[in-house]
């Protein structure tokens, strides 16, 4: 199994200190979060079951409206997240001569830009996760986000579990082997790597709207001797040939798009699959499967982290949407603690209804 990040990425002392400070600052907010949860529990906000997230927030928000500790914690968390990309980009720029050779692929033969001069969808221009400038806010944002932000903040905070989740999802696909896989919203190839390790004989195509992330995914493939194709296109309109894959999959893509686009992504997955092929999407756990405490924490954290469609993703009936798109044998389940990641699996019929 390959290492998730490059060991030879070395930042200067300032870069390590700034990213380490942001990591420690975010970690230091845990007691404030626990205090807020305790306040809500004492006030009885979690005692009754909730029917909708709006119902739950209608109970919690008035309790917290005048609480200075909660407001302070939210402000600090937002500030730390807003600082992450600028500090990581600055650290990269100070070591550009050493780092850029590690960030760019040797060639572009396996890269296709199907978006071309067209503007990307409006939803994609949002600064997800408070990533300054969005996923193409820097020419090497893919490298910066993966090797600096993931390594110095997320991996340091959560350990290897964030990559093990991707392995679990890849292994949970219905078949033992596949010949042609399409990874929608592949980013820098974190999940794509796990697909390649799980199904080594498969031809893999990654699709994403971010040029910088795709180019770093290409570089990561080169490092591992993987000849995958990377395509710049929207997941709902890939432009790839229909019926050309036996697995269409994604890891935590759907909460980054509006619900209308989720419907289009399922329709596109159906089109891309050969008869009998599988769709296998993972994303956030539905609020209906969470305790009141968990659902509130998910929703509150999404508010502080520029996640505009987390709530809709956590309340959509994906199984119904998959059935509506024409899939059969639709199944949903949670794979890990707290039922995360949440996985939808379904099959395109061998014969379509006339």
Report the pLDDT value the prediction gives residue 2, as an integer from 0 to 100.
58
What are the φ/ψ torsions at residue 103 (nearest 5 degrees)? -100, -20
**The model scores a pTM over 0.85:** yes
CB 344 within 8 A of CB 117: no
Domains of the chain, residue spans: 13-154, 160-347
Residue with tokens 């994303």: 283
In this predicted structure, the answer to whether residue 253 has a pLDDT above a threshold of 90 is yes
In this predicted structure, the answer to whether residue 176 has a pLDDT above a threshold of 60 is yes
Predicted confidence (pLDDT) per residue in 262-287, tens digit: 999 999 999 999 999 999 999 999 99
Closest to 160 measured CA to CA, from 305, 340, 331, 4: 4
Average pLDDT estimate for 149-156: 86
CB 279 within 8 A of CB 322: yes
State the chain's mean pLDDT as an integer.
95
Name the more confident of 156 and 20.
20
Report the pLDDT value the prediction gives residue 3, as an integer from 0 to 100.
58
Interior CA angle at 284 toward 321 and 203, to 5°? 75
**Distance in Å from the first CA to the final CA of the chain:** 45
Compute the half-sphere exposure of residue 337: CA atoms within 13 Å on the CB side of its CA: 4
Helix residue spans in the chain (DSSP H): 13-27, 30-42, 53-64, 68-94, 96-103, 141-143, 155-158, 161-171, 190-198, 211-223, 259-272, 292-304, 310-315, 318-325
What CATH architecture is 160-347?
A: 3-Layer(aba) Sandwich (3.40)
Percent of the chain scoring above 90 in pLDDT: 87
How far apart are the C-alpha atoms of 117 and 42, rounded to whole Å?
56
Closest to 342 measured CA to CA, from 288, 272, 264: 288
In this predicted structure, the answer to whether residue 14 has a pLDDT above a threshold of 80 is yes
Report the pLDDT value the prediction gives residue 157, as an integer from 0 to 100.
75
Tokens for 105, please give them.
Answer: 């692929």
Interior CA angle at 324 toward 249 and 186, to 5°? 20
CB 140 within 8 A of CB 212: yes
Predicted confidence (pLDDT) per residue in 199-242, tens digit: 999 999 999 999 999 999 999 999 999 999 999 999 999 999 99
In this predicted structure, the answer to whether residue 247 has a pLDDT above a threshold of 80 is yes
In this predicted structure, the answer to whether residue 87 has a pLDDT above a threshold of 80 is yes
CB 245 within 8 A of CB 181: yes
Predicted confidence (pLDDT) per residue in 23-54, tens digit: 999 999 999 999 999 999 999 999 999 999 99
> What residues pair up with 328 in beta bridges, in sequence order?
347
Average pLDDT estimate for 171-175: 98
Predicted confidence (pLDDT) per residue in 108-131, tens digit: 999 999 998 899 999 999 888 889
């Amino acid at each position: 199994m390959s290492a998730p990040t490059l060991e030879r990425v070395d930042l200067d002392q300032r870069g390590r200190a700034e990213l380490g400070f942001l990591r420690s600052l975010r970690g230091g907010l845990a007691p404030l979060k626990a205090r807020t949860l305790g306040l809500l529990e004492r006030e009885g906000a979690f005692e009754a079951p909730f029917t909708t997230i709006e119902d739950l927030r209608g109970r919690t928000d008035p309790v917290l409206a005048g609480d200075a500790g909660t407001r302070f914690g939210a402000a600090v968390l937002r500030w730390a997240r807003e600082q992450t990309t600028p500090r990581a980009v600055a650290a990269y720029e100070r070591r550009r001569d050493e780092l850029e050779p590690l960030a760019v692929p040797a060639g572009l033969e396996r890269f296709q830009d199907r978006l071309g001069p067209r503007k990307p969808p409006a939803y994609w221009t949002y600064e997800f996760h408070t990533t300054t400038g969005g996923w193409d806010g820097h020419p090497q944002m893919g490298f910066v986000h993966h090797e600096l932000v993931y390594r110095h903040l997320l991996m340091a905070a959560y350990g290897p579990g964030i990559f093990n989740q991707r392995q679990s999802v890849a292994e949970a696909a219905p078949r033992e082997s596949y010949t042609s896989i399409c990874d929608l919203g592949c980013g820098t190839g974190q999940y794509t790597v796990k697909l390649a390790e799980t199904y080594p004989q498969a031809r893999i195509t990654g699709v994403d709207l971010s040029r910088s992330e795709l180019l770093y995914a290409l570089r990561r493939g080169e490092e591992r001797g993987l000849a995958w194709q990377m395509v710049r296109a929207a997941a709902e309109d890939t432009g790839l040939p229909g019926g050309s894959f036996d697995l269409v999959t994604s890891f935590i893509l759907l909460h980054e798009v509006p619900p209308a686009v989720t419907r289009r992504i399922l329709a596109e997955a159906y089109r891309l699959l050969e008869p009998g092929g599988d769709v296998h999407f993972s994303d956030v756990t539905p609020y209906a499967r969470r305790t009141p405490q968990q659902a509130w924490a998910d929703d509150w954290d999404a508010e502080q982290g520029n996640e505009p469609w987390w709530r809709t993703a956590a309340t959509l009936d994906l199984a119904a949407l998959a059935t509506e798109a024409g899939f059969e044998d639709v199944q949903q389940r949670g794979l890990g603690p707290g039922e995360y990641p949440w996985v939808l699996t379904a099959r395109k019929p061998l014969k379509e209804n006339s």
